[in-house]
Amino acid sequence: MGDTDGTRQRRRGDTRQRIQDVALELFAEQGYEKTSLREIAERLGVTKAALYYHFKTKEEIIVSLFEDLTRPIEELVEWGRQQPHTLETKREILRRYGDVLQNAAPLFRFMQENQATVRDLSIGGMFKERMAGMREIVIDPDAALVDQVRCISALFTMHAGMFVHLELEGDPEDKREAVLEVAIDLVTQAHGGAKGSGDQTR
Amino acid sequence: MGDTDGTRQRRRGDTRQRIQDVALELFAEQGYEKTSLREIAERLGVTKAALYYHFKTKEEIIVSLFEDLTRPIEELVEWGRQQPHTLETKREILRRYGDVLQNAAPLFRFMQENQATVRDLSIGGMFKERMAGMREIVIDPDAALVDQVRCISALFTMHAGMFVHLELEGDPEDKREAVLEVAIDLVTQAHGGAKGSGDQTR
Amino acid sequence: MGDTDGTRQRRRGDTRQRIQDVALELFAEQGYEKTSLREIAERLGVTKAALYYHFKTKEEIIVSLFEDLTRPIEELVEWGRQQPHTLETKREILRRYGDVLQNAAPLFRFMQENQATVRDLSIGGMFKERMAGMREIVIDPDAALVDQVRCISALFTMHAGMFVHLELEGDPEDKREAVLEVAIDLVTQAHGGAKGSGDQTR
Amino acid sequence: MGDTDGTRQRRRGDTRQRIQDVALELFAEQGYEKTSLREIAERLGVTKAALYYHFKTKEEIIVSLFEDLTRPIEELVEWGRQQPHTLETKREILRRYGDVLQNAAPLFRFMQENQATVRDLSIGGMFKERMAGMREIVIDPDAALVDQVRCISALFTMHAGMFVHLELEGDPEDKREAVLEVAIDLVTQAHGGAKGSGDQTR
DNA sequence: TATGAATGAGGATTCATTCAT
DNA sequence: CATGAATGAATCCTCATTCAT
């Protein structure tokens, strides 16, 4: 008897993690400003003060989430920089970017829907950097303006992908693939490639 | 005699308008939640209570802006519904949509950057409807999934256009055209057309 | 043609009266504090400012109502003072008091239900005076304490009568009579009379 | 050492109680609407926000007072329901009711003087229920209308008792007894009994 | 690790009132 | 007679944050 089995017990040590989970859920659902620490604390069954033991400020919570969840983008950008700027590289970047977005969907949804707020949080700057990094490894600064736009559009398409799921019918996996295909098409065209779905380059 | 120069004078009758202007500016700049009525009032040189003479609530301010500025979208959708669903129609829709977006840029920027907030304001629903209308007149529900995505991507590309200006170098007008071209390309491809903005209506 | 028949027209000259009517209705229904001038104005279809043309303050509205509607009590008290302090006089006083209460029921309901508010309006003092007057002409200061209480109880019973209607079943007129009978019984007993319903004194 | 004398010290743990005390005092004195939380807080030497730590809303303060102080009525009603509906029972009910009223005098004064306000607070309904309960155990629904009124009058007389003290001279205890006697007389008469508080249980 | 109690700053909103027209 | 526009003061309430225990 006692705390032997973990069910419903104060799993000690993981509180920080639980705060992050609940916070992200609420931030994504309601927005940053509209989510109060009281709400987070209540949903966790702890006191507001407890949150302050784990995070110095409200902002630190979102910052920690951001840092934890966007590392894959940093890594992707770093990887991208080291690759030759070929079309195939870019395709691979988009594929990997798709995975990244899917894995941290709630955070990205949050970033997307709270841009105004995010802008003057410290993560605002970091996010801009990450995005600039992505642009850098996907856009060729010497290409024609239309082609640069095509690449940006490819990235936006990927982002849009997170919402497309809600507005279009069909199997989720199919939609994911369709989104990726359109994005890849766009960079392909930006590279002077023909339109159409995929195989012709291989 | 009297009010000859308008500087800082109580231009009577236009207060409502001025509130809307200042509000939109601040909402777009800082977000809805972070903009307080005190701030709006101060910048106008009036009391908070004066705002309440013209608008019953804070929300009513943004609603009024939304209604005033999105009427063109409604009209565009209505027009679109009455046209034959040809490729050329869609191209025209995108062209007009570009104009609409440009004319009400600050509002759209606001909507884009405050989605989480907007979602539970009454304009959230209205906005969704407008967007659904746009999708309806641009997407062919019987087309292949990829092509549907292409059309959504076209719309997102147009939206992205509002931000591209900030991140890409070059003449604004050129960028505008490039964005439009990419978007038109996307719907053209969705219609089975070749790449490039040629005249092939099918 | 024009304003010939009065239906739905701005009956000129009676605005003051209409303000009083609507105000009393709302004051009685919702209380003084919770009734705003805006509400009164709206229900009348005029501006708040219009009210100020007819009454200098919100308080003046209730004061004017009070003065108009409690004159009968003043008169009753005056009459009562000039009568011999017999039992029969008191009975007559209660009968007349019953009429007075019925005629200005909404005001008295208001006074009853807003005592705390009324207390520091100028009518607070006036009302106390009127009530003191009523006590004076009904209570014999030399009588035994119990009998004095009986007389006060008689007055309270009359007041209670305004609410009894809501809580007891039966014909309104019957209830009115029953209330009066009980009150009269009380002063009768206070005069050393026998208990019972009525006729034995005649 | 330390908190030896309690003057103006942060007597910890009793803040909630102190808020209730001060609030009741002010509510009874000035009415509910006219008493602001600022006033309560100031008089306690705490911040408005502190009140909100202990009570979620202003209304909750009065609700808590009401619940704490009217429990005795509930109990009395419950007791009354279980007794035989004899005259002697009713007399006992009135005696006990007198005690209850005296113990929670400020609250009842408040309820009496703020009926309009109370009506649309949640305690409005509760209070009506309590009063209905009292009526139920005192009134015989099969009795003649006059006798029912007599019983209601008895209850009102008890309530009036709280004010009689202010308007009649004499020893408080004497007045209390006189009020009780009149009320008991009324129910006695309602039972067909003779005047005067004799022992005739029927 | 956490809580209980509190704060200070600020939020939106409402109100009675004023006054030039 | 009445309105349109505005004000100043007040209201209830919420929030992120702190700190002794």
Task: Flag residues 76-105 of A with CB < 7 Å from strand F.
Answer: none
Task: Give the single-character DSSP code of D191.
Answer: T
Rounded to whole angstroms, how far apart are CA atoms D184 and D167?
Answer: 21
C-alpha torsion sign, points C101, C107, C110, C115: negative
Q: Does the nearest atom of strand F lie within 7 Å of D56's Cβ?
A: yes
Q: Are residues D42 and D63 in the same domain?
A: no
Q: Taking a C-beta distance cutoff of 8 angstroms, is the pair C179, C161 a contact?
A: yes
Protein residue with the closest CA to the C1' atom of nucleotide E15:
C36
Of B56, B71, B102, which residue constitutes the final position of a domain? B56
Region of residue B94 (phi > 0: left; psi between -120 and 50: alpha; otherwise: beta): alpha
Distance D173 CA to E5 C1' (A): 43
- Taking the CA of residue C89 and the C1' sugar atom of nucleotide F2, their distance in angstroms comes to 51
Q: Do A156 and B153 touch (CB under 8 A)?
A: yes
Residue D33 DSSP one-character state = T
By residue range, what is the domain housing residue D52?
1-56
Structure confidence at residue D187 (pLDDT): 96
Do D158 and D82 belong together in one domain? yes
pLDDT tens-digit map of C124-148: 999 999 999 999 999 999 999 999 9
- Measure CB to CB from residue C116 to each of D30, D149, D152 and give the nearest one: D30
Averaged over C173-192, what is the pLDDT?
94
What's the CATH code of the domain at B51?
1.10.10.60
CA–C1' nearest nucleotide, residue D35: F11
Percent of chain C with pLDDT over 70: 89
Both A158 and A81 in one domain: the answer is yes
Task: Read off the pLDDT of each residue in A166-188 and give the average, rounded to a whole number.
Answer: 92
CATH code for the domain in which residue D104 is found: 1.10.357
Residue D104 vs residues C146, D51, D98, D99, D109: alpha-carbon distances, Å: 24, 23, 10, 9, 9
Within this chain, do residues B186 and B93 fall inside the same structural domain, yes or no? yes
Query: Has residue C165 got a pLDDT over 60?
Result: yes
Q: Print the SS3 string covering chain A.
A: CCCCCCCCCCCCCCHHHHHHHHHHHHHHHHCCCCCCHHHHHHHHCCCHHHHHHHCCCHHHHHHHHHHHHHHHHHHHHHHHHHCCCCHHHHHHHHHHHHHHHHHCHHHHHHHHHCHHHHHCCHHHHHHHHHHHHHHHHHCCCCCCHHHHHHHHHHHHHHHHHHHHHHHCCCCHHHHHHHHHHHHHHHHHHHCCCCCCCCHHHC
Domain co-membership, A44 together with A78: no
Amino acid at C43: R
Inter-chain residue contact A32 with B116, CB threshold 8 Å: yes
Instruction: Please check whether residues C45 and C129 belong to one and the same domain.
Output: no
* List of chains touching A (3+ CB pairs within 8 A): B
State pLDDT tens for residues B30-39.
Answer: 999 999 999 9
pLDDT for residue A167 is more than 90: no
d(CA A50, CA A201): 57
Please count the other Cβ atoms lying within 10 Å of the Cβ belonging to residue C38: 11
Looking at residue C166, its pLDDT comes to 78
Q: How many domains does chain C contain in total?
A: 2
* Burial profile D114-132: b = 16 or more Cβ within 10 angstroms, e = fewer: bbbbbbebebbebbeebbe
Highest mean pLDDT among A5-19, A66-80, B11-25: A66-80
- How distant is C1' of E2 from CA of A60, in Å? 19
Residue A10, CB, strand F, below 7 Å: no
Q: Are residues C106 and C29 in the same domain?
A: no
Model pTM score = 0.89
Q: Which of A117, A156, A181 lies at the smallest CB-CB distance from B156?
A: A156
How many Å from the CA of D17 to C1' of E5? 14
Give me the tens of pLDDT residue by residue for chain D, a chain 202 residues long: 334 343 444 455 799 999 999 999 999 999 999 999 999 999 999 999 999 999 999 999 999 999 999 999 999 999 999 999 999 999 999 999 999 999 999 999 999 999 999 999 999 999 999 999 999 999 999 999 999 999 999 999 999 998 887 788 889 899 999 999 999 999 999 998 654 444 434 3
Q: Which residue is nearest to nucleotide F2 (CA to C1')?
A: C50
Q: Same domain for B95 and B169?
A: yes
Q: Are D122 and D177 in the same domain?
A: yes
Shared domain for C50 and C149, answered yes or no, is no
The whole-number average pLDDT for the span C21-44 is 97
| Contact flag, residue B18 CB and nucleic strand F, below 7 A | no
* Residue B171 and residue B94 share a domain: yes
Chain F bases near protein Cβ (<7 Å): 1-20
Spatial distance from the CA of D84 to the C1' of E18 (Å): 66
| Three-state DSSP class for residue D190 | helix
**Looking at A1-10, A130-139, C127-136, D28-37, which range is the least confident one?**
A1-10
Gap from A137 CA to chain B (nearest CA, Å)? 14
pLDDT of residue B65: 97
Q: Within this chain, do residues A30 and A62 fall inside the same structural domain, yes or no? A: no
**pLDDT bracket for residue A201 (50, 70, 90):** very low
> What pLDDT shows up at residue B169?
86
Q: Which chain C residue has the Cα nearest residue D117?
A: C31
Low-confidence ranges of chain B (pLDDT < 70): 1-12, 193-202
C41 to each of A103, B40, C15, C38, how far by Cα in Å? Answer: 59, 29, 11, 5
Our answer on whether D and C touch (3+ beta-carbon pairs < 8 Å) is yes
**CA–CA min distance C177, chain D (Å):** 8
Cβ-based contacts of D150 with chain C (< 8 Å): 182
**Strand F atom within 7 Å of C47 CB:** yes
